[in-house]
Amino acid sequence: MTARFAPGDPVRVRPGAKPGHVRTPDYLKGRSGRIEAVLGAYPNPEDLAYGLSGEPGRVLYKVGFRQGALWPDYEGPPEERLFADVYEHWLEPGGER
CA torsion through residues 22, 25, 30, 31, sign: negative
> Is 1 a member of any domain?
no
- 0.85 exceeded by pTM: yes
Domain that holds residue 22: 10-93
> Is 4 a member of any domain?
no
The CATH number linked to 26 is 2.30.30.50
**Residues 93, 10 contacting (CB under 8 angstroms):** yes
Does residue 16 sit in helix, strand or coil? coil
What is the chain's pLDDT, residue by residue, as a tens digit (97 residues)?
799 999 999 999 999 777 666 788 989 999 999 999 999 999 988 888 888 898 999 999 999 999 999 998 999 998 999 999 999 999 999 876 5
> Is 88 a member of any domain?
yes
Instruction: Identify the helix (H) or strand (E) that includes residue 82.
Output: strand 81-87
Burial letters for 6-15: b for 16+ Cβ neighbours within 10 Å, e otherwise?
eeebebbbee
Does residue 84 sit in helix, strand or coil? strand
> Is 2 a member of any domain?
no
Number of domains present in the structure of the chain = 1
